[in-house]
Structure formats: C-alpha cells, structure tokens
Structure 1
C-alpha cells in the first residue's frame, strides 16, 4: 500500500496505540474523583499537558484538551466573538481556511458580524498587507492558518500576529495550526498569538483528541456548559487514554521535527520533477509551500475518477480536504482557478514514513491512468 494522504489522517503509531490501550485499563479513574485512581488519572493528564506545551514553548497551564482540531477552532472563534461582541463589529480571516474556521465564521456572519475574508492570489499566497488593511479598530478577531491543508501554503504566523497586534491591540489572534504542529518548528512563547489549534490524528494518534493553546491571561467566553473540566472551556469527563496518547506523541515527535522535515524536503522535489514530466499536469502548491503537502491538477480528468484509478493500484491520495468529502476545493476556488483545474485537482501529503517508492508508484499510476482514461473517452 502506498498511502499518501497524511493531511487527511495518519496511520496510528503502534507504540502510541500500546500506550493508549494501557491507559484505558490502568487509568480508569475519573480525574475529578478525590480518591487515588482519580488522582492517578489527573496526574497523567497534567503530564500530557506539559508534553504538549513543550512542543510550542509554552506552559502547561496554557493547554486545553479538546476532541479535535475542529473543536479547538470552534472554541477559540466562538469564544473570542462572544467576548468582543460589545465593542467589535468585524472579524478578519484568510480566504482559504479549513471548514472548521470558515463555516464557523459564516455562522457568526448570520448573527450580524461583518466577516472579511482575504482571498489568496493565483499562486496560493495571502498578501499580508491586504490582511492588515482589512483590520481596524472594530476588528474583534483575526484568524489565519499556519499551513494550509489543501496546498500547503505557509504563513509567517509569528510575524503576522505581531503586525496585527500593533494595528489592533484589542483584537484576538487565532491560528489554525493543525497541519503544521510537530511538522514545522514553532515557538509561541512571548508571541502575539492568543490561541492555536492542533490535532492528534495528524500526528499518528487515534482520531478524537486535540488541544487548544490559550495564551496566559487571555480570556474567552466558554462556548459550552457543563461540569467545569478544562477550566470550564471544554466541560465533560476527560478522555484520559487519548490525552495520554497525545502527550506521548508530542514527546516522541516534538523532538524529531527537524530530522523528519529534512526527509520530506527530499521527497517533495522528487514528486515535483516527476509531475513536470507528465504532459498536462499543473502544480497548484507554491514552491515555498510546506513540503508535506503538494497539490496538482490534471485538467480534463476529474479528480474522483483518477483517485479511484489510483486506488486500484493501492495508491491513496486525496481530491482535497477530507472534511469536504469530495466537494470542489474551497482553497482552489478562492485562488480563482478555472473550473477544469479545480475539477482535476489531487492532493498528496507525506509523513516521515513516506518513501521514494511511494512516489514512483504514484507517478506510474498517473501515467497508466491517463492512458487508460484517454482510451475510454
């Protein structure tokens, strides 16, 4: 099997799966209980909080555990909007956000907020100046991505956040960091970023665990009500086994970011060169995008058709964001690309276990697919 859809989800690390299984039976106590089994669970959560915090250069007290990156985004956005509603009138975002962000903003727009989306250019890049120009004294929230999930475009989130803070000191600043966490180095200590979302299943954990960084002394209004767990921001009995697993993933992969990134930086150019040799292929990811993600189009061949042909060869890629379930790419549409290029788009996404042989299989599958589909037309 040649699995090249790691931006959708990653294979669960067997070592992490063992840690999760052990926690399910050994850490069964409710962390809110006052007796010893509960205290053991609470201590395990505290350790995991420290492990996740260390990957971002922040303190354990600034980490809130959630069910996923999408929930983290929702808590951050809804909480910031509720807090600012008495003085702010608009929210600013990059125009190629993940559905967890842009659909939440759309919902806030229906409540009366003015939503200012800054579209990427045809190369998939966001103009920092255009985003800053959209920010004013009535901006309650500015949100932008660390790594775009469809084409891999990277933002200088630290620098951009600093510029936003200088122009709008009261605005909350949120970053969707799901595709960049533990893949690209990032230290949030003393940064202007107020909140940062991350997800475990993009880093070899089971699906169903994520976290939200909230800067010390930065307060948002809770989006949910319940028993007060996670400082009242994400109430509900904590998922101890998955939290422990996320902590273990943070410790294992947080220390190898540079080495894993160097490996992927060798794979990405190999794929780019191979695609350049295939007639009609157009690469959509900018050259300075994250090497973990490469998006390209074959105009005239629907992505779903090619995706299933590749599947028959046990090569697995995506036609866009997995959360969109095959719908036309929101990101490519925001870039203003023509329909035939959007309809023929595929996304490849690597992880540290990806091999050159996976790229060879993909390129061969594309060549065979083009020849086979051409005969059928």
Structure 2
C-alpha cells in the first residue's frame, strides 16, 4: 500500500475533513445527551477522551459514512447541512457496531488503543453500544421526513445484524465439502455487513435533502457496491497489508481462520489442495498466504472489488445528481477502494 500522494486522493482527504468538521458539533451534542458514564465510553470510542474523561485528540476513523450522508444531501441539490442528522445517525450506528464487533471477535484493541470492552469492561461496552443504537434511531426520528428516513435506517440495521450473524456462523463451517462457505454467500454477507450502512448513509442524506425515491434507491445501491468493494480490499489487506498502515498483524485474518474472499477463491483451485491443512495451523499463516496468492485468491478478490467499483461508477453516471456531488463521490470511492486496486 502506497502513501496517499495523488491529487485525487488529497482532494478526497480534504473532502472527508470538511464533512467531519461539519458533522462533529452535532455528533458531540448527540453524545452529550447520554448518561454521563455512557457518554464517556462513547467519546472514548470516537477518540475524544481517555478513560476517566480527560480530553484527548486520538485519531479516530475516517468518517466515511458521515461524509457519504453529507454528499447524499448535496447530490440532491441541498446544502450539506441537510444531511447532518443522517451523518450523525450512521456514525452512531457504525460506532455501536464496532463496540459489539470487538466483543464478539475478542479483539483487544481498536485504532491502536484498548477496545472499549477492554478499557471499561464487557458489560459497560455492551451498554454503550445499545445506547448509541438507540441514539441513532432517536436522531433520525427527530429529522424532517422522519417516517421515510426511519424506514431506511431500520432496513439497514436489519441487514447489518443479518450480515454479522452470517459472518459469525461462517467461522463454524468447514473449509471444504458441501457445508463450506461459497463465494455467493460471502457476497451476500459483505453487502449486508458492510454495504448496507454505506448505502444507507448516501440514501438517508439524499432523502433528507429532498431527493426523489429513484435517486435515493440508486444511491443506496452505489453505497452497497462500495461496501462490498471496500470489504474485499480489506480482506486483501488483512492477509498481505502493511501492519504499520493497517494496524493489523500480517496474516491476522488467516490466524483467526476468517472466511475471507481470497481464501474462498483459492480453495476453488486444484493447486490449493493443501491449503485447508495450512489454515488449521496458526503458525503457518505465511505459507498459507503464499499458497492463496499462487492459487489466484488475491487476484480474484481484487477483480471482484473492481467489478463492484465499476458497478458503483456506472450507477453514479446514470443517476441525475446535483453540483459537485458526482465528482466528490467518485473521489471518495477512489480513496476507499483504491488502496490495493
């Protein structure tokens, strides 16, 4: 993975910064409505404070979902501020999902700090996640056109839970045989777990910006394709990425026996007949990574990511959008899935 130096990537980073600055006051105000202890855990998860509440400015996430919500409103011809309730809601949902994901996966760190469940305890982290979930729903309920917006959010939440359930169940299934996880099953899981909230961010921002139903639906599909492409690239980085950039150990996904797309694709190759044995040996992750690449798993994942990226671009080109939004969305897409493509 190379440093972000191209003009397009720099412009996309500036776009993310603009949207984060626009949304943060409303996000802080929403978190401030929670119980003080729960609000502290939420602020810690966003990198705003340390355990105990001392102020901090720890780098958090990129703010992709909130940026998509703002751009969705702008794509509808509205001021980006019309998308702020959508941006706050999807960012709260994302934070809730990460708190619970870390507990389910047993991940002790998040963004190079102790995960909330490690810093505060499992029970408190579950509670904080539940509070963020409820706050997201309340935020949308208070927005204009609340009924339609709530339907978009709750549909995405249902998909997110479904995708997470499938992802957890995949871990219990064998690598080979009739019960193994297939590539089509993976696509469904990735769209639900990752794509649904990205699609919701765009669609919800557009809906609050006054976009017609056809535009809202098209932007939802754009976000879903983007989410699958992002997940595929993340799978590649989870096996071959630079730990200094990804924050993950080399081969971490292999040692955790995750059913990622490169592995599933490689298992279809006759040259990878020894791969299941390597995957069953945590100390042989490097050998497994080399065999997956030789069997075409890495290339297949990147080709699949490119296909979803192309589908997203095609939808953007065929949807009437206002102002600079089409170009801004294309730049953001390049930043998110161009890490390995």
Same fold (TM over 0.5): no
Bigger RCO (CA 8 Å, 6+ sep)? 1
TM-score by length of 2: 0.26
TM-score by length of 1: 0.24
